[in-house]
Amino acid sequence: MQQSPARLFITFTLIGLSGFGGVLPWARRTLVEQKQWLSSQEFNAILGICQLVPGPNIVNLAVCVGQRFGGLRGAFAAVGGLMVAPMTVVILLALLYDHYGQFEQVQGMLRGISAVGVGLIAATGFKMLKEELSYRPMLIVIALSIVMATVFHLALGWVVALTLPLALLFAWNKAK
């Protein structure tokens, strides 16, 4: 289903304005649950690819979704929508922080906002995990990833490189 660059720009502007430092939960909610442009599996697959390439995951996601639904113009529109309005707001907030940042009330508000961000990211992770748990062999990949990252302290690149062949095999079998 093709989308106009204007519609992609507006959609990603709203996603970008929905949160700071963690709009991925809002992107998933908008693209999967509200607009239903992507299925949960498609979102997970696209995000997985976006995590492997350099750059911010959400910007990579905007490029992929924009290109898929609007071609090159759609990719530019989605990234523009994601970036322009939030950058403007951040610049205005920086000016306010420069003036009022030393007050304890402002510091308390910022601590509360960061806790909300962590909760939103965790909720999105659990939604994505729930989808993967429906296919039992992927539990092996999840467990291996957790062990490699937490017990052996391997960097993300190594975890991906070591689990990718097994994950691809399971995904290929699931797709059959």
In this prediction, residue 31 carries a pLDDT of 97
Taking residues 65-76, what's their average pLDDT? Answer: 97
| DSSP string covering the chain | ----HHHHHHHHHHHHHH-SS--HHHHHIIIIIIS-SS-HHHHHHHHHHHHHSSS-HHHHHHHHHHHHHHHHHHHHHHHHHHHHHHHHHHHHHHHHHHHHTTSHHHHHHHHHHHHHHHHHHHHHHHHHHHHHHTSTTHHHHHHHHHHHHHTS---HHHHHHHHHHHHHHHHHHHH-
Same domain, 23 and 53: yes
**What are the tens digits of pLDDT across the range 97-122?**
888 888 889 888 888 888 887 887 78
Tokens, residue 137: 């062999």
Are residues 97 and 106 in contact, defined by beta-carbon separation less than 8 angstroms? yes
Same domain, 152 and 125: no
Parent domain of 172: 135-176
**What are the tens digits of pLDDT across the range 33-66?**
999 999 999 999 999 899 888 999 999 999 999 9
Taking residues 71-95, what's their average pLDDT? Answer: 93
Taking residues 67-93, what's their average pLDDT? Answer: 94
Looking at the 3D structure of the chain, how many domains does it have? 2
Same domain, 66 and 148: no
Last residue of a domain, one of 113, 130, 147: 130
Are residues 6 and 75 in contact, defined by beta-carbon separation less than 8 angstroms? no
Distance, C-alpha 146 to centroid of its chain: 19
In this prediction, residue 63 carries a pLDDT of 97
Distance, C-alpha 27 to centroid of its chain: 7
Q: What is the pTM of this model?
A: 0.62
Same domain, 74 and 25: yes
Amino acid at 120: L
**What are the tens digits of pLDDT across the range 130-155?**
777 778 888 899 899 999 999 999 98
